[in-house]
């Protein structure tokens, strides 16, 4: 039997305690909504969609419960303002995928010039809400716009020439901002970056490891965004939690004998899950189980030799980066990356992700070095030993909930 270390126990106690107070705190859920604006010379057709969980936060839902569509519709009537003013001529609920609520509004307008739209939806209940708007003209031209707490207005026009005139800077900066805000709001990606930092013993090693992670997610981001590979979103989200788990096991720095016990336990666990997948329908992806088992056992075998694991860490980070890159691509698939400037938009998004990653790792490294230099060795060692166990527990929580709930 494997005797769990005290830090393992502390990590799970922390997770259980936190989960009592916030079921959504560790969920991979950001406060987001989406809209499409199709504009002609005399009308605007807007489709607005949001996750059902976001609609349940609205004040309108409290009075119109349990009608989610009516709640969102009433909220939009009060929170979307057109200037010059447009008249709402039609409103209807749309049939969408489960867990999403969508409303279509049709406005009549009396001008074919520039219109300013103020988007106040959801900010009163979620200050960190992000809205992704797509502006389309009748001849198929489009652009993507990011709306947040500090910038709630968008400008649209029926004139497709204006969209054609959208220059290099507009597209590049817009998607750079999207990538930057995505990495900063993606809690699971931030947790993984913290695990990477705990794995590295020097700034040089951290730079090489982060570079491997960057190469990995850049490749998979391109493949997914260009539809050359279309991964299963749920599997990718659960695998992101899985990467945190196995990387955190290394960051705990267990003794050799304990690592061997973990490896044997993992082998028995994956064999058991594989057998269950064959004889039942509860788990129905045997190939994925085999792949995860081989990756876990090989990784645990590799990290038994610290010098070898340090040498190959950038390669391992690249493998994990491939998984996270598919996660990054989900946001582009949700809002729809513009086709006319596909490579430029993809480059901008990737630059934004890298800038966010550099910022996060720089801050984490500064805090890490400051704590190491200003705390007593035993106190720092205690915190350093506890953190990976907490992160392992969080990653395991994500993996289980995303896989089976």
Rounded to 5 degrees, what angle do the CA atoms 132, 49, 217 make?
45
188-214 mean pLDDT: 92
8 A C-beta contact, residue 88 and residue 106: yes
Please give the Cα distance from 329 to 199 (Å, whole number): 26
Burial readout 144-166 (b: 16 or more C-beta within 10 A, e: otherwise): bbbbeeeebebebbbbbebbeee
Cis before 127 (ω within 30): no
Q: Residue 374: its pLDDT value, please?
A: 87
Phi/psi-derived region of residue 188, left when phi > 0, alpha when psi is between -120 and 50, beta in every other case: alpha
48-65 mean pLDDT: 91
List pLDDT tens digits, range 340-374.
Answer: 677 888 888 899 999 999 999 999 999 999 998 88
52-65 mean pLDDT: 91
Q: Residue 56: its pLDDT value, please?
A: 92
Q: Residue 18: its pLDDT value, please?
A: 47
Instruction: Using pLDDT thresholds of 50, 70 and 90, give the confidence band for residue 22.
Output: very low
8 A C-beta contact, residue 336 and residue 134: yes
Contacts of 377 (CB under 8 A, 6+ apart): none
299-315 mean pLDDT: 87
- 234 three-state secondary structure: helix
Q: Residue 28: its pLDDT value, please?
A: 45
Percent of the chain with pLDDT over 70: 84
318-339 mean pLDDT: 80
Q: Residue 340: its pLDDT value, please?
A: 61
Domain ranges of the chain: 6-28+186-404, 32-165
Q: Residue 30: its pLDDT value, please?
A: 67
Burial readout 287-314 (b: 16 or more C-beta within 10 A, e: otherwise): ebbeebbebbeebbebbeeeeebbeebb
Please give the Cα distance from 70 to 205 (Å, whole number): 54
Q: Residue 6: its pLDDT value, please?
A: 52
DSSP 8-state code for residue 233: H
8 A C-beta contact, residue 176 and residue 137: no
Instruction: Using pLDDT thresholds of 50, 70 and 90, give the confidence band for residue 88.
Output: confident
Least confident residue range of 41-45, 245-249, 323-327:
41-45
327-342 mean pLDDT: 72
167-194 mean pLDDT: 81
Q: Highest-confidence range of 176-185, 189-198, 273-282, 323-332, by mean pLDDT?
A: 189-198
8 A C-beta contact, residue 175 and residue 346: yes
Instruction: Using pLDDT thresholds of 50, 70 and 90, give the confidence band for residue 106.
Output: very high
Q: Tell me the torsion sign for CA atoms 358, 359, 360, 365.
A: positive
Strand ranges of the sheet holding 153-156, from the earlier edge strand across to the other edge: 80-83, 115-119, 153-156
DSSP 63-86: HHTT-HHHHHHHHHHHHEEEES--
Please give the Cα distance from 262 to 245 (Å, whole number): 12
Q: Residue 240: its pLDDT value, please?
A: 92
Instruction: Using pLDDT thresholds of 50, 70 and 90, give the confidence band for residue 158.
Output: low
CA 295 remoteness from chain centre: 23
Q: Residue 282: its pLDDT value, please?
A: 63
Average pLDDT over the chain reads 82
Instruction: Say which residue, 395 or 234, is predicted with more confidence.
Output: 395
Please give the Cα distance from 125 to 33 (Å, whole number): 13
Percent of the chain with pLDDT over 90: 26
Asked if the model's pLDDT at residue 7 lies above 60, the reply is: no
Instruction: Using pLDDT thresholds of 50, 70 and 90, give the confidence band for residue 290.
Output: confident
CA 136 remoteness from chain centre: 26
15-43 mean pLDDT: 63
126-141 mean pLDDT: 77
Q: What is the 3-state secondary structure (H, E, C) of 298-332?
A: HHHHHCCCHHHHHHHHHHHHHHHHHHHHHHHHHHH
67-91 mean pLDDT: 88
182-208 mean pLDDT: 89
46-53 mean pLDDT: 90
List helix spans (H) across 253-376: 256-279, 286-302, 306-335, 342-374
Strand ranges of the sheet holding 142-147, from the earlier edge strand across to the other edge: 87-94, 100-108, 43-51, 32-39, 130-137, 142-147
């Amino acid at each position: 039997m494997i005797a769990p270390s005290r830090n393992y126990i502390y990590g799970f106690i922390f997770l259980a305690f936190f989960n009592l107070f916030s079921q959504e705190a560790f969920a991979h859920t950001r406060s987001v909504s989406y809209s499409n604006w199709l504009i002609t010379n005399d009308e605007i057709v807007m489709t607005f969609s949001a996750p059902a969980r976001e609609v349940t936060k609205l004040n309108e839902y409290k009075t119109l419960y349990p009608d989610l569509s009516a709640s969102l519709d009433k909220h939009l009537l009060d929170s979307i303002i057109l200037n010059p003013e447009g008249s709402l001529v039609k409103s209807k609920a749309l049939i969408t995928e489960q867990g999403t609520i969508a409303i279509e509004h049709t406005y009549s307008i009396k001008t074919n010039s520039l219109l300013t739209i103020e988007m106040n939806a959801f900010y009163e209940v979620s200050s960190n809400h992000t809205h992704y708007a797509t502006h389309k003209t009748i001849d198929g031209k489009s652009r993507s716009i990011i709306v947040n707490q500090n910038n709630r207005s968008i400008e649209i026009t029926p004139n497709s020439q204006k969209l054609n005139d959208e220059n290099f800077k507009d597209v590049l900066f817009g998607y750079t901002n999207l990538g930057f805000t995505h990495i900063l709001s993606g809690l699971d990606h931030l947790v993984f970056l913290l695990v990477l930092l705990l794995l590295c013993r020097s700034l040089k090693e951290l730079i090489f490891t982060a570079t491997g992670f960057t190469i990995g997610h850049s490749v998979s981001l391109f493949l997914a965004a260009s539809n050359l590979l279309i991964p299963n979103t749920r599997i990718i989200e659960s695998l992101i939690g899985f990467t945190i788990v196995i990387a955190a096991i290394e960051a705990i720095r267990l003794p050799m004998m304990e690592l061997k016990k973990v490896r044997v336990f993992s082998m028995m666990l994956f064999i058991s899950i594989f057998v269950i997948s064959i004889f039942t329908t509860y788990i129905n992806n045997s190939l994925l189980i085999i792949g995860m088992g081989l990756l876990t056992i090989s990784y645990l075998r590799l990290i038994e030799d610290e010098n070898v694991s340090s040498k190959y860490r950038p390669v391992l980070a690249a493998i994990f980066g491939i998984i996270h890159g598919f996660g990054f691509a989900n946001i582009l698939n949700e809002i729809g990356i513009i086709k006319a400037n596909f490579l430029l938009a993809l480059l901008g998004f990737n630059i934004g992700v890298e800038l966010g990653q550099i910022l996060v790792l720089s801050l984490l490294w500064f805090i890490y070095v400051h704590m190491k230099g200003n705390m007593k060795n035993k106190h720092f060692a205690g915190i350093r030993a506890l953190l990976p166990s907490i992160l392992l527990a969080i990653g395991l929580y994500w993996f289980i909930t995303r896989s089976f709930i």
